[in-house]
Amino acid sequence: MEKLPKKAYERELLRLQAELVKLQEWVRAEGARLVIVFEGRDAAGKGSTIKRVTEYLNPRVARIVALPAPTERQRTEWYFQRYVEHLPAAGEIALFDRSWYNRAGVERVMGFCTNQDYARFLHQCPIFERLLVEDGVLLRKYWFSVSDTEQENRFRSRLEDPMRRWKLSPMDLESITRWEDYSRAKDEMFVHTDIPEAPWYVVESEDKRSARINMIAHLLSTIPYHEVQRPPLGLPPRPPSKGYERTPRDMQTQVPDHAASLRG
């Protein structure tokens, strides 16, 4: 696959990120609730796409939800319960870096849930999502698809990069040997959860740049947002001094000037 040229990518990404800021302001003004689910293969580019989506957004409005493994107590709760508490209130966006679909993916393939748990999930998930949409939540679900060859290349790149090695876990690497198991689980999941009220949108991510652009452009196209006019802002005049004097620097603990060693 021919990669999107870097200059064209950066130019279009910046334009789309400006639109995402407009979308954020519309969400705040309208009191909308937006949920974006990011799912897909390990190393398919979900995390890097989320970074580009949120780069210029207000973290108080757009929250990334990336939950750890459930606690012992959470394992005894209704399965969807720990995800419900992270759903957005009015004027908020929640981006799920993996979501309740863990049950249909890693839990199913790795045997972390029973067959009964799995069957119950496939039955309840469409109901759960229909309830969200019926209540006015804007729900968007994206599946990032990557080939086995490209996934292995990305794993190898992470193994050799000390700055990104933390992204790999033994379970990630095991996904190489369970490629077909994950494929079958994904296909079955789609059969049950690709519903009209909350369809799955597949993002081809052999080229990460194209995947990011395509996903963001599609998201924007599915929401009837518009630019919100904000009141004009201006810097007030600085009032005259009332005699305040700053505390001498030598009376405070200063951060060492490491940058000074770089100036020479």
Distance CA 133, CA 128 (A): 9
Name the more confident of 240 and 165: 240
Domain boundaries in the chain?
A: 6-222
Over residues 35-47, the mean pLDDT reads: 94
Supply the mean pLDDT for the chain.
Answer: 94
pLDDT of residue 264 exceeding 90:
no
For the segment 108-135, the average pLDDT, to the nearest whole number, is 97
Give the number of residues written for the chain: 264
Residues 6+ apart with CB under 8 A from 164: 157, 158
pLDDT category, 31, cuts 50, 70, 90?
Answer: very high
Q: How far apart are CA 258 and CA 27, in angstroms?
A: 42
* Residue 65, beta-bridge partner list: 96
Quick count: other Cβ atoms within 10 Å of Cβ 106? Answer: 21
The class level of CATH for 6-222 reads alpha beta
Query: Is the pLDDT at 119 greater than 80, yes or no?
Result: yes
pLDDT at residue 173, as a whole number = 76
pLDDT tens string 42-92: 888 999 999 999 999 999 999 999 999 999 999 999 999 999 999 999 999
pLDDT for res 100? 98
Point out the least confidently predicted range of 19-28, 171-180, 182-191.
171-180
User: pLDDT: is 80 or 154 the higher one?
Assistant: 80
